[in-house]
Each structure stands twice: as structure tokens, then as C-alpha cells.
Amino acid sequence: MKFSNAMIVVITCTVTASMVWYLTSYDPTPVTTENNFGINALVIHSPPYMACPTEDCKQPDYYLKINSKSKTFLIGYNICDENSCVKQDGLAISLPIVDVLHPDYQKLPLPDNLSWKDGDSINIQVKVPNSFIFDNAITFDSTHTPKIWVDLGKSDIVRSS
């Protein structure tokens, strides 16, 4: 009898915890694979440099390197491998426009506690406005603009040269 009561308590706690996690982390923003903005993104691994001029010059090991073919803003990202995810929301970063002659990328540092390695396969999703941005827009208010997650698909982590 004690065992069945204990099992009921464990199952109830597990279900309750799962529901709380789902309700607090649920994002109603739609997801699409249509990349209307022509967003390019990859994760760069930039290992620490040996010749550091000071003791406290720690640089992030991983960066999200991103640009776009059309004017848009990065509002968030979700980068996952098979075991872990890095999520950021609430951004309003203008993405550089692709220029073949003068390549320009936005580099965003990722957290230091990642267990990723060069060549690991990851999936990149970016949250952007659902509509195009006027060329003269330099700021963005994300509170009143519909947003969408763009699934950029699988990518491999690339070592910086």
C-alpha cells in the first residue's frame, strides 16, 4: 500500500512539474521554414588565444554569426544540438545586409557553458518580425509587431580561423 501511495505522489509531482514547465515556457509565435528575409546564420567556435596580454581577457568561445538579404531585426534565437539549447529572446538587433563585395555579419556571443565541439550538428531558429522593415528604420519596437520563428535548419559548428 505504501509503495502505491508513493508512486501516485511521484507521478502527480512529475505531471504537475511538466505542466508548469510547459505553461511557463510556451511560446505561441509560429514557426516556419520559409526564409523570406534571406537570413544566413552559423555558429563559430573561436577557441581562447594563448597570447593574452592580461589575465582577465576571456573571450566567448562561441558566436552566432548572422546577416540577411533584406532589412530586418533579430528578436531572438534558439540554437540546439542533440543534448542542449541556447535560447535568447527580447532582442532588437538590426541585421547587416548581405554585400558580396564587403561581407558584414553581426556576431553575438553565446554562453560559455556549452559542451559543443567543432563540427557538431546544430539546428538554428531565429525570431524576426513577420513583415518587412522599412530601409530607414534604425530602431524597432517589438511589442506591437507580429513575430515569427524562422527555422534555418541544420548547420555544423565551424572553427574560426
**Secondary structure (DSSP) of 27-79:** ----EE---TT--EEEEEE-PPPS--SSTT----SEEEEEEBSS--EEEEEEE
pLDDT for 23:
45
Domain residue extents for the chain: 29-159
Give the list of residues 6+ apart from residue 59 with CB closer than 8 angstroms, or none: 46, 48, 49
The pTM assigned to this predicted structure is 0.74
Residue 17 φ/ψ, nearest 5 degrees? -60, -40
Could you read off the pLDDT of 125-155 as tens digits, one per residue?
A: 999 998 766 555 555 666 667 889 999 999 9
| 43 vs 47: CA distance, rounded Å | 13
Q: What pLDDT was estimated at residue 147?
A: 87
Check if the beta carbon of residue 66 is closer than 8 Å to that of residue 105.
yes
Question: Which CATH code of 2.60.40, 1.10.3470, 2.115.10, 2.60.120 fits the domain covering 29-159?
Answer: 2.60.40
15-40 confidence digits (pLDDT tens) = 665 555 444 455 677 888 999 899 99
Q: Which helix (H) or strand (E) holds 22?
A: helix 2-25
Sorting pLDDT into bands at 50, 70 and 90, what band is 59? confident
Q: What is the pLDDT of residues 76-126, one digit of tens each?
A: 999 999 899 999 998 989 899 988 788 889 999 999 888 899 999 999 999
